[in-house]
C-alpha cells in the first residue's frame, strides 16, 4: 500500500503530519520576495520542513483507518511496513515520497528535500507565477502638481441647531450584513435532521436496555411475574444405609415403644432414590484406562468447583460422573453449562444413558 497519497492529503488538510518511524513533516509559509540576481518577484508559497524525530501522534493511522475502512491496528501495521521500506531504500539511494520530495541519508542522519513541483502546485497560491521586473521604461518620475491658491473663506454665523439626518442619505446607505457566521439553509436543515436521528438512536438504545433488564428479571426473579420457579432436578446419590443386625424381639419391641413418641413428632424422611433401578442419564467427565490420569482428572474437576464421583467400573475403564438426571433435557442443560466453565477439557464431557437390566 502506497501511503504517500494519505500523507499528502493529511499534510494539505492540517499543515502537518507525523509519520512514525520516518519523522515529522510541517508546512511553513514563506512570504513573497524579490530576487535581485534573477530580477524577479516571487509570490508567497509554502515549503515543507522535515524533522527526523517523529512525535507521539496517531493522526495518520486514524486518517488511513477512516479512509480505507480498516482497524487502527491494521493501519499502524501498514505504516510501520511502509516506513521500514523507505528507510531501507534510503540507506542505498534517494527514495521518493510521491508528491512531496525524496529521502536520503546524510552523515547517517535521515534528511528530506522537497520537490519544486510541490511549491508550484500549492493550492493556497495556485496561479501566482514569478514576475520579472521590467526596467526598460525607466523609473517613473514624480510629476509636479500646479499650486492652487486657497480662496478666502467667509465665515457666516449660524444658529445653534441640531441637524436631522436626511432620509435619503439613510436609505442610500447599504445595510450591513454579517456573513462571518452565515449558515446556509440546507446545512441548517441537515443539522436538524442529524439531531433528530441522534434522538431516535438514543430512544432505541434505552428501549433495548429496558427489554434486556426485563428478560433478566423474568429469568432470575419469576416470582415477581407470577411464574413458579422450576424445581431443581439434580439427583443426590446417597450411600446405602448400613445393615441392621438382628436383635432380640423383646429388645426390639422395647426400643420401638421408647421411640414411638419421638418418631411421631419427627418429620417423615423420604428414602433415597436407587438410581441403578431406574433409567437415568449421567453427565460423565471422561473414561480413563490409566488410574493416574483418572486421579488427576478428579482433582481438576474438584478445583473447578464440581463434585465428581466414581462410577461403577466396567472392565479396565474408570469413569467419572459429574451429575445424574432422570430426563435427557436436564442432562443436556447441565452438560452445556459445564462446557462453558473456563479451563474445562471439552473433549471429555459427554452424556451416558443408563438403562437398568430387568
171-185, 210-224, 276-290: the lowest-pLDDT one: 171-185
Q: How far apart are CA 353 and CA 297, in angstroms?
A: 21
- The pTM for the full model equals 0.34
29-43, 214-228, 282-296, 329-343: the lowest-pLDDT one: 29-43
Provide the b/e sequence for 143-158 (b: ≥16 CB within 10 Å): eeeeeeeeeeeeeeee
Q: Is residue 314's pLDDT more than 60? A: yes
192-201, 204-213, 270-279, 302-311: the lowest-pLDDT one: 270-279
What pLDDT sits at residue 136?
58
Instruction: Dig out the grid coordinates for 53 from the structure.
Output: 524525530
Q: Is residue 119's pLDDT more than 60? A: no
Where are the domains positioned within the chain?
4-131, 275-354
pLDDT tens digit sequence for 244-268: 444 444 444 434 444 444 444 444 4
Whether 122 contacts 46, CB under 8 Å: yes
Q: How far apart are CA 28 and CA 151, in angstroms?
A: 57
Q: Is residue 9's pLDDT more than 70? A: yes
Q: Is residue 356's pLDDT more than 90? A: no
What pLDDT sits at residue 247?
44
What pLDDT sits at residue 318?
83
Q: What is the mean pLDDT of residues 126-152?
A: 55
Q: How far apart are CA 27 and CA 14, in angstroms?
A: 9
Q: Is residue 279's pLDDT more than 90? A: no
Q: What is the dihedral of CA 55, 60, 61, 62, to 10 degrees?
A: 110
What's the order of all strands across the beta sheet hosting 16-19?
A: 16-19, 23-30, 45-51
Q: What is the mean pLDDT of residues 306-317?
A: 80
Q: What is the mean pLDDT of the chain?
A: 74
Q: How far apart are CA 61 and CA 73, in angstroms?
A: 8
We find that the CATH architecture of domain 275-354 is 2-Layer Sandwich (3.30)
What pLDDT sits at residue 200?
93
Q: What is the DSSP letter of 317?
A: B
Q: Is residue 184's pLDDT more than 60? A: no
Q: Is residue 162's pLDDT more than 70? A: no
Query: Is residue 6 helix, strand or coil?
Result: helix
Amino acid at each position: 500500500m502506497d501511503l504517500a497519497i494519505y500523507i499528502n492529503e493529511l499534510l494539505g488538510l492540517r499543515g502537518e503530519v507525523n509519520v512514525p518511524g520516518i519523522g515529522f513533516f510541517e508546512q511553513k509559509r514563506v512570504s513573497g520576495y524579490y530576487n535581485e540576481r534573477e530580477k524577479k518577484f516571487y509570490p508567497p508559497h509554502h515549503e515543507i520542513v522535515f524533522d527526523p524525530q517523529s512525535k507521539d501522534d496517531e493522526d495518520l493511522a486514524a486518517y488511513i483507518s477512516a479512509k480505507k475502512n480498516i482497524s487502527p491496528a491494521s493501519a499502524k501495521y501498514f505504516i510501520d511496513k511502509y516506513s521500514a521500506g523507505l528507510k531501507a531504500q534510503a540507506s542505498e539511494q534517494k527514495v521518493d515520497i510521491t508528491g512531496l520530495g525524496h529521502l536520503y541519508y546524510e552523515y547517517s542522519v535521515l534528511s528530506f528535500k522537497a520537490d519544486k513541483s510541490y511549491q508550484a502546485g500549492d493550492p493556497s497560491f495556485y496561479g501566482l507565477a514569478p514576475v520579472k521586473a521590467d526596467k526598460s521604461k525607466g523609473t517613473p518620475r514624480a510629476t509636479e502638481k500646479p499650486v492652487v491658491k486657497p480662496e478666502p473663506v467667509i465665515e457666516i454665523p449660524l444658529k445653534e441647531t441640531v441637524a436631522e439626518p436626511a432620509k435619503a442619505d439613510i436609505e442610500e446607505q447599504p445595510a450591513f450584513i454579517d456573513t462571518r457566521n452565515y449558515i446556509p439553509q440546507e446545512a441548517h436543515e441537515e443539522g436538524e435532521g442529524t439531531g433528530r436521528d441522534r434522538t431516535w438512536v438514543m430512544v432505541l438504545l434505552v428501549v433495548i436496555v429496558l427489554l434486556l433488564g426485563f428478560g433478566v428479571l423474568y429469568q432470575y426473579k419469576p416470582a415477581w411475574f407470577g411464574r413458579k420457579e422450576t424445581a431443581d432436578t439434580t439427583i443426590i446419590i446417597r450411600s446405602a444405609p448400613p445393615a441392621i443386625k438382628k436383635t432380640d424381639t423383646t429388645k426390639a419391641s422395647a426400643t420401638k415403644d421408647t421411640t414411638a413418641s419421638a418418631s411421631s413428632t419427627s418429620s417423615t424422611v423420604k428414602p433415597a432414590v436407587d438410581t441403578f433401578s431406574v433409567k437415568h442419564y449421567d453427565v460423565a467427565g471422561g473414561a480413563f484406562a490409566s488410574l493416574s490420569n483418572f486421579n488427576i482428572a478428579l482433582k481438576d474437576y474438584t478445583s473447578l468447583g464440581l463434585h465428581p464421583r466414581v462410577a461403577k467400573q466396567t472392565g479396565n475403564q474408570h469413569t467419572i460422573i459429574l451429575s445424574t438426571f432422570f430426563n435427557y433435557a436436564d442432562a443436556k442443560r447441565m452438560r452445556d453449562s459445564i462446557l462453558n466453565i473456563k479451563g474445562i477439557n471439552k473433549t471429555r464431557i459427554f452424556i451416558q444413558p443408563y438403562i437398568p437390566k430387568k
